[in-house]
Amino acid sequence: MAILFILIILFIFVYFIPTFIASRGYQNVLLVFLINFLLGWTGIGWVVALILAFGTNTKKYEELKFRENEKALNEERRLEERSRHIKGLKEEDILVSSDNRRVNEMKMKAEEYKLRAQIRAEVEEEMKKEKIRKQYEDELRDN
């Protein structure tokens, strides 16, 4: 009895093989199923269903796979572009912080140069005053 049950299951599986094949990419799966279900018992109907299942109309399946692959590629490109954008922002932040550091260093150097120039000007002014004072003292002595 168990062997009969296994044979019936196996027969049903073999009987609907054209439908299983057609479901993997043929656009008229319903047509293959109907021919297989209604005429498959004749043998000729089963062969016709099998031929239709392997039919040349797999273009829709290929287009479907192409679209799926294209969607996956577009999603991958979008994610890659987004990650580049995020990386760009991080690099920009790094550049901004390093640029700010450089700007601050340059400001400090500029202030240092201003202070040095001011000190130099004051020293030169003192030297001029000292020179004028010495000249005046020398003139007073000579007179």
pLDDT digits (tens, 9 = 90+) for 115-140: 888 888 888 888 888 888 888 888 88
Residues 36 and 98 in one domain: no
Residues 32 and 84 in one domain: no
Domain of 50, in residue numbers: 1-57
For 21-62, the pLDDT digits (tens) are 888 766 678 888 898 889 888 889 989 988 888 875 556 666
pTM of the model: 0.40
Radius of gyration of the chain (CA): 47
- Judge contact between 61 and 51, C-beta under 8 A: no
Residues 16 and 52 in one domain: yes
For 64-95, the pLDDT digits (tens) are 777 777 787 788 778 777 776 666 655 555 55
The count of domains in the chain is 2
Q: Any residues with CB less than 8 A from the CB of 53 and at least 6 apart, and which?
A: 17, 18, 19, 21, 22, 26, 32
**Count of CA atoms in the C-beta half-sphere (13 A) of 133:** 6
Residues 50 and 104 in one domain: no
Residues 123 and 64 in one domain: yes
Q: Which of 39, 57, 75 is the last residue of a domain?
A: 57
Give SS3 for 65. Answer: helix
Residue that has been written with the tokens 């640029």 in this structure: 99
